[in-house]
Amino acid sequence: MKVDKFISHRGNNIDFIENTIESFKEAKDYGFRWFETDVQMSADGVLFLFHDKTAQRLTDCTKNVTQMTIAELQKLELAHPITGKKSKILTLKEYLDWAKESDVFTNLEFKITNTCFKYKTNLVFATLKLLSEYPEQKDKILISSFSNVIMNILEQDHIYHKGKLFEISDWDRDFEYLSTEIYKDFVKNEYVALIINYECLNKDRVAYIKKRFGKVFVYSVHTDDEVKNLLSWNVDAMFIDKKEQLNLT
């Protein structure tokens, strides 16, 4: 699977509300072909795109979003915390319709804000069922999740490409686990890449990961200097917020 060097992180979330159709359209118009987004499931079983556990950061609603119906969710008026621009929560189906029409690629992350095992199982199988209605997207979708439960359930799927998400807070402490347990899981499931956080990296560590895992994608990339560092370290892909960073070399 070929993945672009720059992946738009929840769309153009600097100017528009993240994970909304406006943010994705704006990023595509600027030149992005790859988009990262977060999928959750409403109380009545509808898949929607949202990152947080609650909508409090964008509205005054403090309820867990997975405990709300899709009608309740789409009644929420989301407001960008800086620009003040308004929008509505997007369903995964609406996004896939746009992705099909726009010929774009997607990193779909299962975002777990509900710890119930049944919820996680239903989320995975509902998503796979919906994706099956878009066969032309099969090779344009990369699935990932921090949840080991989700990734274990996904071992039953042999259609979609997957990446291994991992967060390191202390390289020295976590190195053994990364190089053994994570590597075994990586090989067993034929993951496309190790997806890891910027904070733990330097040139030598990126070189090690590329030698061990083949490809490395990096998240939590914010500043222009961080982007330039990753380019000089030859990472395979990175998730960026600022659309202008697409032009950095």
C-alpha–C-alpha distance, residues 49 and 90, integer Å: 6
- pLDDT per residue of the chain (249 residues) written in tens, 0 to 9: 999 999 999 999 999 999 999 999 999 999 999 999 999 999 999 999 999 999 999 999 999 999 999 999 999 999 999 999 999 999 999 999 999 999 999 999 999 989 899 999 999 999 999 999 999 999 999 999 999 999 999 999 999 999 999 999 999 999 999 999 999 999 999 999 999 999 999 999 999 999 999 999 999 999 999 999 999 999 999 999 999 999 998
Cα distance from N-terminal residue to C-terminal residue, the chain: 23
- What's the predicted TM-score (pTM) here? 0.96
- Dump the DSSP string for 90-114: EEHHHHHHHHHHHT-EEEEEE----
Task: State whether residue 122 is helix, strand or coil.
Answer: helix
pLDDT for 249 equals 84
Are the C-beta atoms of 9 and 219 separated by less than 8 Å?
Answer: yes
Cβ neighbors of 115 (< 8 A, separation 6 or more) are none
Domains and CATH numbers, the chain: 6-173+241-245 (3.20.20.190)
- Chain-centroid distance of CA 210 in Å reads 21
**Residue 89 DSSP label:** P
